[in-house]
Structure 1
């Protein structure tokens, strides 16, 4: 009979790809993990990993087993907390977030559900979608586009996007500009495959034309700090830059174009929604109801 321990071992190895990290997560020795995995594969009658040293890579059988194992483990957690006195589901969620969301929205969300324990990974949309495909995350909150049919995407919040600069930038005192008037100026950009960069390349760059020097940075905070040093223009969310605008460290470059995007919730279509995950998704959806188009209260 397949045991809970065997499924836990399989699930952890499937997410981490090696015995060492799985052993740390489960507080077991590598030998104990190897034994549990070998017994699982013996009972199944076939291997669930390809051994590609030093990693263990899911094969076709393993990919079929993974969502079922994840669901069983999540359902067991639900049962364990079914009769908690507090009445609210508890446990730990593995969440992913793009940088604007992870730095400026997610902390406020988590503060509204203090009983929730979360392990949060903040990285770009491309990386988050890859992690969801491998069941390394329960869900992600993203700024870019999901192109994977195995993932379900739900529109969440509207986000206003701005072109910003240092107050001494040559364009800072212009009332209204067209995008083509931003040509030949220097830019500080996020890395390719980030949602921010994808939108810039898709919607702004073709209309601007020739760009000046381009500095690429892989964190939103480093982009804004670089702009504060006068290194160029940047394309960022109002949610992220608002404090700097209020303090006068950065200013908006008014372009005669409405720039926005939709933030999204995304999860694997085979992901079982535990009580804890359902509660968190409902909390996210409540933000949508309580806020106006760009995160401002409707009142």
Structure 2
């Protein structure tokens, strides 16, 4: 066999980083060794894998075609290493969007770590757009996503049901009323998640068209920051009920009923369609299903307080 796993590992690292120096640093090797390994791989088959533009590298069509196969092969090699090392699972990289990552992802990760304490696992938390990009770059093995996804390279399966809730501070005039029509909501100052998040995607699809023009006062990337801003009576917002349960229980935030909107949504488990599902991903998905079996809706989950 002409190929070595090390050559393929170097190729995959360079493909992810699009930079030989960063890939070499990640693999704890010299830049010249990484560059020579890539050149040798391309020379063996007389087949360039990258377009070289200045000092940057970009996968060409051949490189894009072979990367999923390389990534799958390296994943299988890690599974073999883990098995021979004593039954450990291969390292697992999980992606999660912010609401899921902060309130559910950590629960599944905790179960995984308890059952497989010697198997490395990491959790990457970002908005839906960023997590999708990481999946497509093979930067994570499986993801838990709240936004709507339609991409031919990704396998998307339903997981838990959730819903968004409009809410305000207890001192806000709408707190005493308890509900609001569209005209009233359009006259409020809104504090919302940033574009690219699943929560904002749902708001823009369902609520925003009914309001027409509205006062967008703040866009924030973190759910907790939005809750604090609303508690300070800077405006009203719309977030997952999952993230608001404890605040509603304490009375620091108040739900505004909006029966005119269907704010239900689905959480999803997502992975790359061209990537083989290793044992570690299978185990993680089983643990997600275990959580799902206990609660079809996020409102049915008994969760600890996360400040």
TM-score, normalised with respect to structure 2: 0.91
Select 1:146's aligned residue among 144, 149, 160.
Answer: 149
Q: Which residue in 2 is equivalent to 1:259?
A: 263
Aligned residues: 296
Paired residues of 2:202 and 2:263 also in contact (CA < 8 A): no
Question: Are residue 250 (structure 1) and residue 253 (structure 2) matched?
Answer: yes
Paired residues of 1:180 and 1:209 also in contact (CA < 8 A): no
Q: Structure 2: which 5+ residue stretches go unaligned?
A: 303-307
Matches of 1:221 and 1:53 in 2, distance apart?
43
Mark the CA change 1:176 to 1:124 in structure 2 (over 3 Å): closer, same or farther.
Answer: same
Q: Which residue in 1 is equivalent to 2:34?
A: 33
Question: Are residue 168 (structure 1) and residue 171 (structure 2) matched?
Answer: yes
Question: Are residue 111 (structure 1) and residue 118 (structure 2) matched?
Answer: no
Q: CA RMSD, aligned part only?
A: 1.7
Matches of 2:229 and 2:301 in 1, distance apart?
31
Q: Which residue in 2 is equivalent to 1:268?
A: 272
Distance apart, 1:26 and its partner CA: 0.9
Select 1:211's aligned residue among 214, 217, 224.
Answer: 214
* Cα deviation digits, residues 255-295 of structure 1 (max 9, x gap): 22442210111111001111111111111122111113225
* Cα deviation digits, residues 146-188 of structure 1 (max 9, x gap): 1211111111110121111111111111133334431110000
Q: Which residue in 2 is equivalent to 1:94?
A: 93
Distance apart, 1:145 and its partner CA: 1.2
Distance apart, 1:243 and its partner CA: 1.9
* Cα deviation digits, residues 191-223 of structure 1 (max 9, x gap): 112111111010011122331243111222222
Q: What is the DSSP-based 3-state SS (H/G/I as helix, E as strand, rest coil) of the residue aligned with 1:153?
A: strand
Paired residues of 1:157 and 1:295 also in contact (CA < 8 A): no
Paired residues of 2:206 and 2:262 also in contact (CA < 8 A): no
Question: Are residue 288 (structure 1) and residue 292 (structure 2) matched?
Answer: yes
1:118-197 matches, cutoff 5 A = 118-197=121-200
Matches of 1:103 and 1:163 in 2, distance apart?
20
1:32-111 matches, cutoff 5 A = 32-82=33-83, 85=86, 87=87, 89-111=88-110
Q: Structure 1: which 5+ residue stretches go unaligned?
A: none
Paired residues of 2:192 and 2:216 also in contact (CA < 8 A): no
Q: What is the DSSP-based 3-state SS (H/G/I as helix, E as strand, rest coil) of the residue aligned with 1:171?
A: helix
Distance apart, 1:140 and its partner CA: 1.4
Matches of 2:219 and 2:109 in 1, distance apart?
30
Matches of 2:44 and 2:299 in 1, distance apart?
52
More helix by share: 2
Which 10-residue stretch deviates more, 131-140 or 172-181? 172-181
Paired residues of 1:165 and 1:230 also in contact (CA < 8 A): yes
Matches of 1:81 and 1:199 in 2, distance apart?
41
TM-score, normalised with respect to structure 1: 0.93
Paired residues of 1:151 and 1:269 also in contact (CA < 8 A): yes
Which 10-residue stretch deviates more, 172-181 or 1-10? 172-181
